A and B are shown apart, each in its own frame.
Chain A
């Protein structure tokens, strides 16, 4: 069984950053259809800062310290709407992981993902169905909570949770946006996949791959 200690969480954050940057152009394209086309850029700038902070962490850091460093990096570098959302999400994750030496149980990640999604909702004030990243995150949270009850390996659980998020992100096509710049378009924004939901799925995939120590 993999031991998800602070160092592995830090490594996972670096992998998340790499994945986000690989998807930068795709995320900008999605955002350009209905928003201002910079979502991939904002996420890349934020995750680059997260990556730099993660590389500076001591090898014996706790998972909570690693997650808090990501929150601080977002707070200083990003701004936009996405900055405060991810700052709050990583800070909530750090809180949920507080006192734990490792995050080896599916239930650990279920409570972290739940805390992250709740924090995002609190700052962004979006509801399910508003066509935001929560439309990918909440279904993923429900999914991993179910897996925590069912049991299985952590690696498989995180991977299938990321897949659930990606499917939900694709389903945002059918939603009419209620928040952010795209909301002013109303029905004109229907048919486009939400960029924030898509990048959230990328982030969860990064965690899944980071924890299972796979390359891609």
Chain B
């Protein structure tokens, strides 16, 4: 294992310390593993608290700032945070307008965020939750509630954050976030494994000449392994899965071509090129797009493609909102 680390068990602690110092204009520390926007709580604004395991930056803490999230809790690598830092972030961002939790659908996150939600409600804070489940290949459509949350959160949180910036009510923010999630689909492909520092060895073994379609962002096994082949035909297969799951034909979309951490930007643009061709063939109009590493899996190579089917409300929310967070900006 070659990594830029000291003791593997100190990685998260030391990362949080550096993350805070590097972003001290935007965030403040509100607990050992919790952060909030420097100016929070913001009067009249619903606080959005995100979080999950570490190892996915910019997701999740990287999106704390104007236009996206108000607070975040850091877990250990690939492991949900306990309830405690979620509660700390909640208390820091609650202005009285209420707090929304939003995170990917994993059992650990659900248990710990629910626990935090219960405790905060007991304290009299209004808390609601929108769990994200955009990964088409992680469960069949009939069991969509079992699907994992992956790259699509980047698009959904644009909508959620924009609505909250307008000082909408908690119910309104929750409704539009749930709507964005319901209209978002993601498919991914992994080329390599990754190494959890304290583990010291790659999570699984993927032969040199094979890639895994549907591979999860913690290395969870995907739908199937196939031989390496030109990326256009792989993207065709991925886009087929998205378009079969939700009717995007003739609609406006927001689109993310995401890198999993170890893939060069050059390759992501090759991917975007093909995605755009497929969108054009299906009369899908790309109103907003981003290409880059957003929801990563340590140094894993691979990509995911996310599409959010826009209506006028969601379109205008994304278009008219400036985003200025720790690790992502949009004018």
Contact = CB atoms under 8 A, between A and B. Distances in A.
Interface of A: 24-25, 28, 32-38, 40-42, 44-45, 48, 75-84, 123-124, 179-181, 183-185, 188
Contact of A78 (B76, B106, B200, B220): B76
29 contacts: A24-B199, A25-B201, A32-B203, A35-B218, A35-B220, A36-B220, A37-B78, A37-B204, A37-B218, A38-B77, A38-B199, A41-B79, A41-B196, A41-B199, A48-B9, A76-B82, A79-B53, A79-B75, A79-B76, A79-B81, A80-B79, A80-B80, A82-B108, A83-B79, A83-B82, A83-B112, A181-B107, A181-B220, A184-B220
Q: Interface residues of A: mostly helix, strand, loop or mixed?
A: helix
Interface of B: 9, 53, 75-84, 106-108, 111-112, 115, 138-139, 146, 148, 196, 198-201, 203-204, 216, 218-221
Contacts of A77: 82
A81 B82 CA distance: 9
Name which of A34, A37, A75, A78 has the most chain B CB atoms within 10 A of its CB. Answer: A37
Nearest to B224: A188
A79 to B, nearest CB: 4
Contacts of A32: 203-204, 219
Given A44-B198, A184-B148, 6 more contacts: A25-B199, A42-B76, A79-B76, A79-B82, A80-B76, A181-B218
A42 B218 CA distance: 14
A76 B146 CA distance: 28
A181 B106 contact: yes
A149 to B, nearest CB: 35
B83 A80 contact: no
A81 B111 contact: yes
Contacts, number: 109
Contacts of A83: 79-80, 82, 108, 112
B199 A40 contact: yes
B221 A34 contact: yes
A188 B80 CA distance: 25
A116 B162 CA distance: 45
Contacts of A184: 138-139, 146, 148, 220
Contact of B115 (A38, A76, A84): A84
B196 A38 contact: yes
B107 A37 contact: no
B82 A75 contact: yes
Nearest to A41: B198
B199 A80 contact: no
A183 B146 contact: yes
B75 A80 contact: yes
Contacts of B80: 79-81, 83
A78 B79 contact: yes
Contacts of A185: 221
A181 B77 contact: no
B201 A45 contact: no
A77 B83 CA distance: 10
8 nearest A-B pairs in the assembled complex, by CB-CB distance: A37-B203, A36-B218, A80-B79, A81-B108, A79-B82, A80-B108, A41-B198, A79-B81
Nearest to A189: B221
Contacts of A25: 199-201
Contact of B107 (A78, A81, A188): A81
A40 B197 CA distance: 12
